[in-house]
Amino acid sequence: MIHYAKIISCYTADTSGVCSALYELGGMVVVHDASGCNSTYATHDEPRWYDMDSMIYISGLTEIDAVMGNDEKFIDDVCESAERLKPKFIAICGSPMPAMTGTDFDALAMIIESRCGIPTHAMHTNGMKSYLVGASQAFEMLAQNYCGKAGRAKTKPVVNILGATPLDLSRQQIVDSVWEWLERCGFEKGCCMAMGSRLEDYQSAGDADCNLVVSSSGLAAAKVLKEKFGTPYVVGLPFGKEYAEVLKGDIEKAIAEKADIISCAQRAENADGAKSVIVGESVYAGSLARAVQMQTGRPVRVIHTLDTDDELVAAVDKRLADEDKLEEEFSQCECVYADPLFKPIVSNEAEFTAIPHEAFSGRCFRKSIKNFVDRELEF
């Protein structure tokens, strides 16, 4: 029996990925789902919910409206709310029930935009995929529709950050640490998709000399900006002192050679068969693996438990999502770095190091999430 879990948690869904990516940008996000389902997003997936306002709504889909295909109510409600709230854009996305009934979100977006005159975007989510899929769609939409060139004056190379959400990076403090590190490296601050930046900031995104992709959800947007403006991208997070220095060199090389570098996946081949593994999102886990290897000399592999692009998976890594397969893999490991909710399926003989992941365990271990940016790892 596969694709089930009896012990471990599940990851945040794609609808929450869309909401998280667009949270701070002044748009209105409407999830077509039953009344009350917004509480799942607010209480488990979005730590900013109590600190700042955002126009995140649930349509209040009823059983009879779903069965009868009453899309007019959804359209009327969205247009009425948009008229009152005046959002900068509208994003509509689905949940399992609209997916089962075949709701045409592209058509709904066209009708809503024509009626209220506000740019409206269809996000093709169904609540059954991971948050990275939804966030990736949202970031790609932003890159296609809201990023431009403004002829920005600059004295140093400018770097944007792509793919930042609290689901992976937890706190604004960690994003700020990345900005501080970039400035210490001699780079100028660009915009961030999408923590700590406004939608208006993206109008000069094309002026950047390089895009730093900090999660796999930002890769699609980086490729769009590469096609639109020729901006190269580097994938990785500056974890640990040694790897942060390597990442700095990769950014400088990308700018000089106009080359794309998947830095977090460039790990030693001698890690094949390594007894130490890091579990989680590809960019975060891959960057941490490089940092651990460089600081300790211990070979480390990554277990990718989420949807990810092939180019982010190193040759020594594995893709495992099923609980029984993960338990089998962990039984052969001597050291496991993972969210605390994985610990029950890790062998008692293995050394377990907790690396909380907000998209997996919610806020349960939020106070224990460490900032690894450009500092010695305390393992």
pLDDT tens digit sequence for 212-236: 999 999 999 999 999 999 999 999 9
pLDDT band at 370 (very low <50, low <70, confident <90, very high): very high
- pLDDT by residue (tens digit) across 266-315? 976 666 667 899 999 999 999 999 999 999 888 899 999 998 999 999 98
Q: Which of 212, 59, 78, 217 is nearest to 138 (CA)?
A: 217
Does domain 265-368 fall into CATH 3.40.50.1980?
yes
Q: Which residue has the tokens 């990516």?
A: 21
In the chain, which residues fall in CATH 3.40.50.1980?
Answer: 14-129, 150-263, 265-368
CATH classification for the domain delimited by 150-263, as one of 3.90.245.10, 3.40.1480.10, 3.40.50.300, 3.40.50.1980: 3.40.50.1980
CATH classification for the domain delimited by 14-129, as one of 2.30.30.30, 3.40.50.1110, 1.10.3720.10, 3.40.50.1980: 3.40.50.1980
pTM: 0.94
pLDDT exceeds cutoff 90 at 38: no
If you average pLDDT over every residue of the chain, what do you get? Answer: 92
Q: Name the amino acid, one letter, at 112.
A: I
Helices 219-229 and 131-146: angle between axes, nearest 10 degrees: 20
Strand order in the sheet with 28-31: 55-58, 28-31, 90-93, 120-123
- The rounded percent of the chain whose pLDDT value lies above 90 is 73
pLDDT given for residue 45 in this prediction? 79
Q: How many helices (H) and strands (E) does the chain have?
A: 14, 13
pLDDT exceeds cutoff 70 at 134: yes
Per-residue tokens: 203: 């109008």
Q: Average pLDDT, stretch 85-112? A: 93
pLDDT given for residue 269 in this prediction? 62
- pLDDT by residue (tens digit) across 142-186? 999 999 998 888 889 999 999 999 999 999 999 999 999 999 999
